[in-house]
Amino acid sequence: MRIRLCLAALSLAGGAGLATVSSPTATAAPCTDIEVVSARGTLEPGTLGFIVGDPVYSALRQKITGKTLSSYRVDYPANLSLTSAAQGNRDLVNHVTSQAASCPNQRFILVGYSQGANVVDNSIGISSAGAVVGSPIVATLPAGVEPKVAALLLFGNPIRALGKSVTGTYQSRTLDICAAGDPLCENGGGDTGAHLSYRDNADEAATFAAGKV
């Protein structure tokens, strides 16, 4: 029920109320200083993600000056299939690993919203199995790539409803935002609208990431 409610609300987000958010072109320009890798939420429209990825990328371009930025949209279904998050997990790891080999000086900002946060969690070795739209880990970023990840920006992260969070190596580089009442990341939360509110945190997230690069 929680999933259906959130998806129904998300479908409304494509309406006129949010239509003014611009969508950046998701391109992985070779060897920019920083690449923003974004995993969108379940059925989320937009280039990098209408609710989170697009506004966060726009904010990052304002906050991070003197460096070149590019973006990559994680290639996965972002639907309710049992393998969706696992497909995103594999694509994120494969892309970042390949990009790091091609561009050894490039750094990465990983962005994940809702199911996309599960994708990022899995990719750094924290299983989202058992969470809403989660999956077991199928791939993790290699140890040699870990220092190149400047920041993780997570929104509506479903593992939080299980009492889990990002710990260990990546903890100090992670901003994990759960809006009060968001039923996907707050155990017992009942405010579906909270799950759609994260564009309001784009500036906060970009400021955090800018301080890590």
**Side-chain half-sphere CA neighbours of 124 within 13 A:** 28
E-only strand ranges, the chain: 34-39, 69-73, 107-113, 149-155, 174-177
Cβ atoms of residues 184 and 114 within 8 Å: yes
Active site residue 195: yes
Q: Give the whole-angstrom CA distance, residue 43 versus residue 78.
A: 6
Assign residue 65 a region (left: φ > 0; alpha: ψ between -120 and 50; beta: otherwise): beta
Burial 38-48 (b: 16+ CB within 10 A, else e): bbbbbbbbbbb
182 is an active site residue: yes
Catalytic residue among 114, 123, 128, 135: 114
Catalytic residues, by residue number, are 114, 182, 195
